Structure 1
């Protein structure tokens, strides 16, 4: 995967959303955060994650969506169960994925991180296609933004402990890191 100078992937579906803003310092991109999401929880292949990131979700479509009303959230990329990647926010812009967060004493991780959402739950195993796509994508990100190293790839749970649990116990960190190393 190739990332151009404006932080856009050339080989994936682009879904430009409006839920982003400028980074305080674009040169400070130094963290990759892995998340999970499914809407409704535990259901895959629905249009609702895309609609949430695009700001067009019908909050009456499912009872669990009432908390999503007026929520403005995004990720840089979303990896479906099939391994297909969608990009919502260019990497050089600040997506709104981490919320209240801290990494190594630095608060507001959205300022310096890239957020990747996996279609999944904390307890449902991710697909091999997702791991493959995540490894390739992560390697491209690390090449374009060299401050991101394997030790600076974390789960949402690591930067918002007690508040967030994703990507959860179902995420196989060792498999992912092995694949990341192999794709070098």
Structure 2
């Protein structure tokens, strides 16, 4: 199984050797699990917003296949009681960063993933239209791992070279009162330091 980790400088590298750029919008070092839950961006407008999320399936448990199954419409409601309440959803994100820093990609950054829901930023509604969604494996009650900050920073540095990214926000910022992620344990200061190091 191919996966990726941030190196000492925070750059993503493939565990199978040097990564190659395969197609626009796909990170060359990410493990691809294509999701059917996407569509074209309106007017092919380039994304200018990054939305940071947190997710764990089952809730507060890490390391299982639940997130990949949810984003590919393969979640089995019999596996956990919570799954029966969400198996009908058709959602996705562009990227998912596991606790060990592995990067998984479900949707090309060129396309619109279905991650934001009812949302607004900078006076614009429907943030899916103009954003890139990045899910961190995590929850509101536990700190994130150093490897996740490094991977997130390296990924956003890569995205900034390709798209006019001007804002990086949490899901709670674009859907206040409806969403809480990435939650109080996401350290924005630590992320900012990692991002500065990644772009040097």
Structure 2 distance, partners of 1:168, 1:124, is 9
Q: Does 1:23 align with 2:44?
A: no
Q: Is the CA contact 1:131–1:176 (under 8 Å) kept in the aligned structure 2?
A: yes
Quick one: structure 1 residues 162 and 131, their matched pair in 2 at CA, closer, same or farther if it must change by over 3 Å? Answer: same
Equivalence for 1:114: 132
1:133 positional shift: 0.3
Equivalence for 1:47: 65
Q: Does 1:175 align with 2:175?
A: no
Q: What is the alpha-carbon root mean square deviation over aligned residues?
A: 1.3
SS at match of 2:42: coil
Structure 2 distance, partners of 1:179, 1:59, is 38
Structure 2 distance, partners of 1:25, 1:148, is 17
Q: Is the CA contact 1:32–1:116 (under 8 Å) kept in the aligned structure 2?
A: yes
Equivalence for 1:156: 171
Equivalence for 2:143: 125
Equivalence for 2:110: 92
TM-score by length of 2: 0.87
Equivalence for 1:134: 152
Q: Is the CA contact 1:3–1:140 (under 8 Å) kept in the aligned structure 2?
A: no
Give the one of 67, 77, 80 matched to 2:85: 67
Give the total of aligned pairs: 181
Which sections of structure 2, spanning at least 5 residues, go unmatched? 1-11, 13-19
Quick one: structure 1 residues 139 and 111, their matched pair in 2 at CA, closer, same or farther if it must change by over 3 Å? Answer: same
Q: Deviations along 1:22-81, whole A, 9 cap, x unmatched?
A: 100333311000000001110000111110011100012111112112210000000000
Larger helix fraction of residues: 1
Structure 2 distance, partners of 1:16, 1:90, is 9
1:6 positional shift: 2.3
TM-score by length of 1: 0.95
In the TM superposition, structure 1's runs of 4+ consecutive aligned residues that sit over 4 Å from their partners are 1-5
